[in-house]
Structure formats: C-alpha cells, structure tokens
C-alpha cells in the first residue's frame, strides 16, 4: 500500500464533520492498515480518517506501551462516559511540531465498532483517554488548537543541549497558520494532496 499522506492544518477536510460508516466493506481494512502505518511512521499515538483525506468516522489509537504496541481501530466511536480532568500538552500529526495545553477528561468510556463488526466499549484513562478524545474531536472538525489557550501554543524545537533533546518556543496561532500554509504549499509543489 502507498504511504497515506497526512493532511496539514488548513486542509478543509480537517474542519468537516465526518460521516458515519454505514457498511464495513473490503476497503476499510486497507484504510485502517494505511492509517496505522502512517501513525507509527510519524510517531503518533492516534490518527483519524480525515487526517488522511477520508471524511468518515474511523480512528486508530495506540493503547499500549512502545513495547507491546497495542493499537485499537474504532469505527463510529463516541464517548459515552467521562470523569475527572487532566491538563497536558498536546500535539497533532496534522499540526507538526506545534504543541498546546489542553484540558481533557482523566477517564473515558468509548463505544464503537471494531473492524470485524462487533460493538465494543473501552475504558481508558490518562494519556490514552486524552488520545481517544483528541481523535474523536477530529471526527467533528475540532482540532486541539481550538481547545488550547493561545498563550500555551509553542513549537517543539530539536535542541541537543537540552536534556530531553528539545525545547519549547512560544508562538501564536497567526504564526502557526503561516508556517502550515508554507508547508501545504511545499506539499502541493511535490504533488502531494493538500
């Protein structure tokens, strides 16, 4: 399968409400496989179908650690219960290297359909709960920058002098939009979908 390109901020599909999946057809497993591949290659913890140009209600989320690599694929997912709160920095593969502080629920229960057609209910907490909420937001055309206070937006900059290998540099949404517009122009020049 050809590597699925991830759509960048400014692509209209990222702001559309995705359509429910009415039928699990033969193409869905291939799309799921491509989404997982793109997510893993770009070191993400989740990915929604609109991020790869498909306006359908489908997400993949890494629920395990790096070692066990458990990944869940959910069709038509929705949060049915949530409790507690957590604040934390978030990023997004569609807004590369941009970070912002977002408040999410500490625990969530998510229902959806797995690729074999079975309905499931999953409980998640902490970072995994955050990932589910983030990806379900994508299905509704909501991005993490819509939830992050403007004064928390920053770039993740590689820096070998820092202990963790990077530093954070404050930015504005106006500047981020300019950067992503340039990135989309570059992708278009390379013949990639924007």
pLDDT in tens, the chain (194 residues): 567 999 999 999 999 999 999 999 999 999 999 999 999 999 999 999 999 999 999 999 999 765 666 999 999 999 999 999 999 999 999 999 999 999 999 999 999 999 999 999 999 999 999 999 999 999 999 999 999 999 999 999 999 898 888 999 999 999 999 999 999 998 888 877 66
Between CA 51 and CA 170 the distance in angstroms is: 25
Task: Give this prediction's pTM.
Answer: 0.93
- Strand intervals (E) in the chain: 46-48, 58-62, 71-83, 86-92, 95-104, 107-113, 119-125, 154-158, 166-170
Residues in the chain: 194
- Its CATH class, for the domain covering 12-189, is alpha beta
Span 71-120, pLDDT tens digits = 999 999 999 999 999 999 999 999 999 999 999 999 999 999 999 999 99
Query: Cβ(111)–Cβ(119) under 8 Å?
Result: yes
Nearest Cα to 39, choosing from 79, 71, 76?
71
Write out the two tokens for 55.
């306006």
Which of the residues are catalytic? Answer: 135
Query: Cβ(57)–Cβ(75) under 8 Å?
Result: yes
């Amino acid at each position: 399968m050809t590597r699925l390109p991830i759509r960048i901020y400014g692509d209209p599909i990222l702001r559309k409400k995705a359509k429910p999946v009415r039928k699990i057809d033969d193409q869905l497993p291939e799309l799921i496989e491509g989404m997982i591949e793109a997510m893993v290659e770009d070191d993400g913890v989740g990915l929604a179908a609109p991020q790869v140009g498909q306006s359908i209600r489908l997400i993949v989320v890494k629920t395990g650690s790096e070692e066990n690599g458990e990944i869940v694929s959910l069709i038509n997912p929705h949060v049915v219960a949530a409790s507690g709160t957590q604040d934390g920095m978030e990023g997004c593969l569609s807004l590369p290297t941009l970070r912002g502080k977002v408040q999410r629920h500490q625990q969530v229960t998510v229902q959806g359909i797995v690729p074999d057609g079975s309905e499931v209910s999953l409980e998640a907490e902490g970072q995994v709960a955050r990932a589910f909420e983030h990806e379900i937001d994508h299905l509704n055309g909501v991005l993490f920058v819509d939830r992050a206070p403007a004064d928390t937006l920053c770039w993740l900059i590689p820096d070998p002098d820092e202990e963790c290998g990077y530093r954070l540099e404050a930015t504005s949404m106006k500047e981020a939009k300019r950067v992503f517009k340039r990135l989309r122009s570059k992708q278009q020049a390379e013949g990639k979908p924007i």
